[in-house]
Structure 1
Amino acid sequence: MKKPFAILIILIFFSCRSEYEKREDKVYYKFWSFGQGGWNEKVLENADLESFSEIKSDDNTYGKDEFNVYYENEIIPGADPTTFKILKKGFAIDAKQAYYYNDSIENSNPKEFEVIDYDFSKNHQNVFYKNKSLNVCSVDNFSFVFPNKDNVLGRWSKDGCHYFYNNYKVPSNDYKNISVYEGSHGISSDKKYVYQFDKNYFDTNNRKVFIKEKGIIVEDTIDIKTFVIENNILKDKFGNINGF
């Protein structure tokens, strides 16, 4: 039973792949919507019918004509149809720069551009998350804190000077004493503060923190020396902290 079921899944997957279609003097992008349970289509406005062709990719979501490159039914601003090349899922280059889906990546030299992993890429000067520059202090020292672990919420990385959650830089000058918490949706801490993304999450001066609970501002305590996150629960020596 397992083999026929696996074959059925594969057939469903390939039958639901996106594609472009020329029809009625227009170009259409056709895609399967699982939410609506059927095929949908969108017209490519102003596409040149005669010169349009699909760019081969794993998911059939790129096309071009004499004048533009398209991701699904949208023009990729500034992309050169003559030199446009798909690298890996989501990433592409032309003679001028790199792209993440239909967004350009500023200051990305295509000759030195390299996909790192998932949503991350780099050149010799910088590391990028999707189309955002991290402005790292060292490309060579850039690494993931939890290697080979993909998280739908985000990923922790570091460059030898700072820690990052996706494209957010932890605003701490105490690099050696920063702790980051896997699966915490961007929470980190050092010897003085707790952060989320690129902002102070808690005001830990005098061990006081103000949080919202049922629409009311209440007062809680936090001990930064014993602060941890376990099973998505914030806690210190005083007990659990209502933070999420």
Structure 2
Amino acid sequence: MRRLIAAVSLVAVALLPACNRDTPPSSLFSAGGYHVRGEKVYYLRSFPGDAFEIDGADPASFHAFDQTYARDKSTVYVDGRALPGADASTFELLDGDLSKDSAAVYWSDGEVLSEDPAHFAIISSADHYLFTKDATTVHLNGNPIAGADPATFEALQDPYARDGVRVHYFADPPSFRVLNADFECSADARRAYYRNSVVAGVDPTTFPSNRSVTRCDETSISFAE
């Protein structure tokens, strides 16, 4: 028993340096994200990732919003990297993995989504469809919707939306795939499509995974034998 206690004590002592406030964080002991250790700031990638020091970060004013976003007195950071041109004093998080400052709205990877933050708004966010707008443009998942009118645009039951001029129809972007390009047949997680029309009565979850599509029209889809 004494030997067992001694062994446990030695393990505990061996682990102490990993938690020292002056050493880089380790994914074995700390959660991924931002860590201030003494006079340095680190970004730790999620397990089994490693940590790197954020050059120039000010530990005294450093504030982490979450695992992705942070700022200090002069700089905004995304995944441990400086976000060029971002205004740290006005930076804030929005819903839908978006953020903004006084000059721009940023997509989840730090790319500029809109240069009109004063008029930016989230219209709807549900079932993989993120509709946003500013004074001149409507976006779906960060992509402009050509011809859409921001003043009258509204999201309807998925995958439909409308404005004062037209009705818009969208597929499900994360699961969308082409089934047969020659027959202009495609599908997402919930529907199959022939050109721009929904193939009635077809459930993509029942499609055989080992058989290719050989024919497609507005009423049916055929698979190779």
Q: CA deviation at 1:86?
A: 1.1
Whether the aligned pair in 2 keeps the contact of 1:75 and 1:102 (CA below 8 Å) is no
How many residue pairs align between the two structures?
167
Q: Which residue in 2 is equivalent to 1:88? A: 95
Q: TM-score when scaled to structure 1? A: 0.53
Gaps of 5+ in 1: 1-14, 147-155, 168-179, 196-223
Instruction: Specify the alignment match of 1:53 in structure 2.
Output: 62
1:127-142 to structure 2, matched below 5 A, reads 127-139=138-150, 140-142=152-154
**Match for 1:165: what amino acid?**
A
- Contact residue 34 and residue 80 of structure 2 kept, 8 A: no
Secondary structure of the corresponding residue to residue 111 of structure 1: helix
CA contact (8 A) 1:85 1:93 kept: yes
Quick check: 2:121–2:134 contact (8 Å CA) kept in 1?
Answer: yes
Deviations 1:116-155 (A, max 9, x none): 3333322232222333222342232331442xxxxxxxxx
TM-score (normalised: structure 2): 0.57
- Deviation string, structure 1 residues 161-214 (Cα, Å, up to 9, x no partner): 5423367xxxxxxxxxxxx977347x534xxxx25xxxxxxxxxxxxxxxxxxx
State whether structure 2 residue 219 is matched by structure 1 residue 242. no
Pairwise CA distance, 1:52: 4.7
Q: What's 1:100 paired with?
A: 107
2-side partners of 1:116 and 1:105: how far apart?
18
1:95 deviation in Å? 0.6
Aligned counterpart in structure 1 of residue 37 of structure 2, from 11, 20, 23 = 23
Asked if structure 2 preserves the Cα contact closer than 8 Å seen for 1:29 and 1:42, the reply is yes
Which one-letter code corresponds to 1:48 in the other structure?
Answer: A
Higher strand share: 1
User: Whole-Å Cα distance in 2 between the matches of residues 114 and 28 of structure 1?
Assistant: 33
- 2:106, 2:118 → 1: CA distance? 13
Q: What's the counterpart of residue 212 of structure 1?
A: none
Cα 1:228–1:21 shift into 2, 3 Å: same
Measured after TM superposition, the shift of residue 25 of structure 1 is: 4.6
